[in-house]
Amino acid sequence: MEIIGESGTFAIVFLIVAVIFISRTVKIVPQQSVWVIERLGRYRCNLTAGLAFIIPFVDRVAYRHSMKEIPMEIPSQVCITKDNTQLQVDGILYFQVTDPYNASYGTSNYVLAITQLAQTTLRSVIGKLELDRTFEERDFINQSVVSAIDESALTWGVKVLRYEIKDLTPPQIILQAMQAQITAERNKRAVIATSEGRKQEQINIAEGQRASEIAKSEGEKQSTINRAEGEAQAVMTIAKATATALEQVAIAIQQPGGEQAVQLKVAEKAVEAYSQLASRNNTMIVPNSVSEISGLIATAMALIKTPDKQSPLKTDKAQRLPQSESENHPSVPGF
């Protein structure tokens, strides 16, 4: 029983030693990770992702580094701008371990070193800018911080990828002044917009009135032209109708009995003219004798018989009525 007990204890101790030996010998490195191995306190190698073996109690895992991109929040700090305005600034820094050896032995704590360097660089960059530019030049600030940190971080085996400012908070009194400035600027834009609207309205009204007057004048012009053309056309039509009627009368006169018909028509016109004088005026004008009416008819017939080429108006004065005869025959309307 004692032999069995001693052998069992020995087996248990051996099993424990074997487990410890195996655990110190066999290493499984996760993906995107690198382990730094030291042998007897001195750097030996890097273990990448997968299964690896080391000598127990001789080799040891000194550092474990993640090769992933690491976001790190930079603590908030007070920065003073070029125009002596205080700003409360905080941000996020993104970096990645690229050289496990330098990350292990280049600095005792690369995270703290990067954090402090980011803060000092940020204060330096903002100190070169005025307050208004700090809000406009965020990209410039971020790029400046990344460039300054990345140059120093190379010796630490770290690559700084980017830096993003989260908040830029000026003092409350500055915020109130900025708000008042923004309000004044918006009021100014509103006034300008209103005046521009009124100006455009007046321009539109003037252009509308101008177009209306032009259209009205064009309409009146066209109306006058059309009326004149209509009157001219009417005169031409009347003249043509008169000419045609005169031609028909001349032809009719040449026919047998034409002269008697003309004499009868002239006599009718004369009698009608005398009747109209009697109805329109209080004074009645009558010829001295009936023979004067026949004289008028004879004169009219003489004018009708005169050829076109020898107008009675162009003939010799001898063809006119005697002075005494013209005085005895007053003018009669229609002749």
Higher-pLDDT residue of 284, 50: 50
- Residue 303: per-residue pLDDT: 54
pLDDT tens digits along 240-283: 888 888 787 778 777 777 777 777 777 777 667 666 665 665 55
Report the distance separating Cα 246 and Cα 241, nearest Å: 9
Q: Could you tell me if residue 165 is inside a domain?
A: yes
Token pair in block for residue 166: 């989260």
Q: How confident is the model at residue 327 (pLDDT cuts 50, 70, 90)?
A: very low
Q: How confident is the model at residue 96 (pLDDT cuts 50, 70, 90)?
A: very high
Report the distance separating Cα 60 and Cα 236, nearest Å: 128
pLDDT at 18 over 70: yes
What burial class does residue 7 get, using C-beta atoms within 10 Å of its C-beta: 0-12 exposed, 13-18 middle, 19+ buried? exposed
- My answer on whether 236 and 306 are in the same domain is no
- Residue 332: per-residue pLDDT: 36
* CA–CA distances in Å: residue 296 to residues 206, 250, 299, 316: 70, 20, 5, 19
- Residue 205: per-residue pLDDT: 92
- Lowest mean pLDDT segment, chosen from 24-28, 123-127, 192-196, 309-313: 309-313
Q: How confident is the model at residue 95 (pLDDT cuts 50, 70, 90)?
A: very high
33, 66 contact by CB (below 8 A): yes
Report the distance separating Cα 59 and Cα 192, nearest Å: 78
Nearest to 36 by CA among 66, 56, 71: 66
- My answer on whether 232 and 303 are in the same domain is no
110, 158 contact by CB (below 8 A): yes
pLDDT at 82 over 70: yes
Q: How confident is the model at residue 94 (pLDDT cuts 50, 70, 90)?
A: very high
- My answer on whether 129 and 205 are in the same domain is no
Q: Could you tell me if residue 40 is inside a domain?
A: yes
- Lowest mean pLDDT segment, chosen from 123-127, 147-151, 256-260, 287-291: 287-291
Q: What is the pTM of this model?
A: 0.50
Q: What 3 state SS string does 314-326 have?
A: CCCHHHCCCHHHH
Q: How confident is the model at residue 314 (pLDDT cuts 50, 70, 90)?
A: very low
Q: Could you tell me if residue 175 is inside a domain?
A: no
The β-bridge relationship of strands 69-80 and 59-66 is unpaired
- Lowest mean pLDDT segment, chosen from 118-132, 232-246, 253-267: 253-267
160, 149 contact by CB (below 8 A): yes
Higher-pLDDT residue of 103, 289: 103
Helix-strand-coil split of the chain, %, nearest 5: 60, 20, 20
Residue-number span of the structural domain to which 238 is assigned: 184-245
277, 284 contact by CB (below 8 A): yes
39, 62 contact by CB (below 8 A): no
314 phi/psi in degrees, rounded to 5: -100, -5
- Lowest mean pLDDT segment, chosen from 127-136, 213-222, 241-250, 282-291: 282-291
- Residue 93: per-residue pLDDT: 92
- My answer on whether 216 and 270 are in the same domain is no
What burial class does residue 193 get, using C-beta atoms within 10 Å of its C-beta: 0-12 exposed, 13-18 middle, 19+ buried? exposed
**SS3 of 104, please?**
helix
* CATH code assigned at 152: 3.30.479.30
- My answer on whether 41 and 54 are in the same domain is yes
- My answer on whether 313 and 292 are in the same domain is yes
- My answer on whether 190 and 143 are in the same domain is no
Q: Could you tell me if residue 226 is inside a domain?
A: yes
